Amino acid sequence: MTTSRAVQEIEQMAPQLAALSRELWEHPEVAFTERYTSRRLMSILREEGFAVDNPVAGLETGFVARWGHGKPCIAILAEFDALPGFSQKTQTTEEPEVPGGAGHACGHNLMGAAHTGAAIAVKRELEARGMEGTVVLYGCPAEEVLTGKVFMARAGLFDGCDCAINFHPDSVNGVDMHVLAGIDNIKFNFHGTISHAAARPYDGRSASDAAELMNVGANYLREHIPDGVRIHYVTTDGGKAPNIVANFAQTWYYIRARERAAVDEVYKRLVDVAKGAALMTGTTVEVDFQGGCYPNVQNKVLAQVITQSMEEIGAPVFTPEEKEYAAQLNRTCPQSPRRPYPVDPDVPLDETILGLYDEGNFAYNASDIGDVSHLMPSTMFGTVCYNMLSDLHSWQVAACTGHSIGQRGMIFAAKVLALTAMKLIEDPKLVEQAQAEWRQQMKGIQYICPIPPEVQPPVIP
């Protein structure tokens, strides 16, 4: 049990935070379009007395909300975008609320509510105790396309903060210590010359051929790139009909690796492959860089403070109805744990605290928190917000993030965020230790924003 004032503040705000997370769940907005969500969170923070900057870094839905003065300065990173096509009712069978609509299958509605609640709770404790220290809530849009925080990093918005903490919905309460991948996300647009494919093929220059040859080239490239680099692609536009020589085609690539330098190297070579395909076919290619981020490096000092906070607060206990709901969802999932959790996959909702796990390993998933982790010590943790056998980006997760299961995990996360931030503010030595570890991790690494300078966030009408 903890006597933390910030934790008590969350306890008092719990019904409103749960309702807020449900409200955001009912207004799912995909990357860069999070207008309702962003405005809602900003208005709550302004009302509380935070100084809110918006737009930031060319992001209409991005914001920075600041309260307090002096050091340490703790960054709390909220995300809030939804995923296209994952609309789902809060029930244990697959059925969209809005056919074809977006949904919170990654639970970022819970992140929006938890991080906002935590920032407010920290502010209230600092204010009541007349303490020095700054809390900054970053409203980070477009995490699902791995770019919001990268644009914010490029604009220098994280300057002046000492460390960052972030919660993500999970099926365990713990801090996953594995490194996440760095990534580039690029669309290659080929422009050719249209003609009748039967009557005048000699007048045509096929963009579709170019896209196909680029994919062939990329598949040959695979053998000659550093081990562990993954390239995936999908041809999103291959022309309109076989009897028309296509004047436009598009192929969409992701490159992933543990080292940012490997992503950069393969990116350059992939651009050459695209140029070669254009040259072969008499077409032109336009490289449309969608986004990219750095690998995420977790900080052990911060992870330990987070774990200590979890233990002091105590893991959430779920109701028999919630366990039955989760058990029914488990039966719809693949019957094996997805990651090396040393927990029982037969338990529908875990009620233990796992602490730090999977240290020293690497996962090919990515998050744009990677860029923040190259600017200051940063750590992301998870709390139980969905059933044990679900994985993120699934209808089952969307069925939990609008349910009391997700809300219970979200309230726990808000408490952990608030208590961790207070521990760091009260004991600046912890911040110094986290920074010493981070400097060690960053030896020989220079942060260069992966998004080229000419690329700006999209303007959504």
Which positions lie near Zn ion, rule CB under 5 A? 106
Please name which of 314, 342, 292 lies closest in space to residue 4, comparing C-alpha atoms: 314
Residue number, 13 or 293, with CB nearest to Zn ion: 293
Q: How far is the CB of 3 from Zn ion (least distance, A)?
A: 33
- Which phi and psi (to 5°) does residue 408 adopt? -65, -45
Q: How far is the CB of 15 from Zn ion (least distance, A)?
A: 25
Q: How far is the CB of 306 from Zn ion (least distance, A)?
A: 18
Residue number, 106 or 163, with CB nearest to Zn ion: 106
Q: How far is the CB of 221 from Zn ion (least distance, A)?
A: 30
Q: How far is the CB of 429 from Zn ion (least distance, A)?
A: 32
Q: How far is the CB of 293 from Zn ion (least distance, A)?
A: 13
- Strands 63-69 and 51-53, by their bridges, are antiparallel
Residue nearest to Zn ion (CB): 106
Q: How many helices (H) and strands (E) does the chain have?
A: 12, 16
CB contact burial 408-435 (16+ within 10 A = b; e otherwise): bbbbbbbbbbbbbbbbbbeeeebbebbb
Residue number, 140 or 303, with CB nearest to Zn ion: 140
- Distance, CA of 63 to chain centre: 16
H or E, element range at 74: strand 73-79
Q: How far apart are CA 353 and CA 415, in angstroms?
A: 14
Residue number, 80 or 267, with CB nearest to Zn ion: 80
The answer to whether the beta carbons of residues 448 and 263 sit under 8 Å apart is no
Please name which of 418, 313, 404 lies closest in space to residue 15, comparing C-alpha atoms: 404
The answer to whether the beta carbons of residues 42 and 35 sit under 8 Å apart is no
Residue number, 106 or 175, with CB nearest to Zn ion: 106
Residue number, 59 or 106, with CB nearest to Zn ion: 106
Q: How far apart are CA 453 and CA 269, in angstroms?
A: 20
Residue number, 68 or 112, with CB nearest to Zn ion: 112
81 phi-psi bin (left φ>0, alpha ψ -120 to 50, beta other): beta
Q: How far is the CB of 269 from Zn ion (least distance, A)?
A: 30
Residue number, 6 or 399, with CB nearest to Zn ion: 399
Q: How far is the CB of 108 from Zn ion (least distance, A)?
A: 6
Residue number, 71 or 178, with CB nearest to Zn ion: 178
Both tokens assigned to 217: 């080239």
Please name which of 182, 186, 181, 255 lies closest in space to residue 225, comparing C-alpha atoms: 255
Residue number, 145 or 455, with CB nearest to Zn ion: 145
Beta sheet of 133-140, edge-to-edge order: 51-53, 63-69, 133-140, 73-79, 163-170, 378-384, 173-176, 353-357
The answer to whether the beta carbons of residues 299 and 436 sit under 8 Å apart is no
Determine the Cα angle at 416 with ends 412 and 420, to 5°. Answer: 175
Sequence-distant (≥ 6) Cβ neighbours of residue 227 within 8 angstroms: none
Q: How far is the CB of 168 from Zn ion (least distance, A)?
A: 6
**AA identity, residue 297:** V
Residue number, 72 or 370, with CB nearest to Zn ion: 370
Residue 101: exposure state from Cβ atoms within 10 A (0-12, 13-18, ≥19): middle
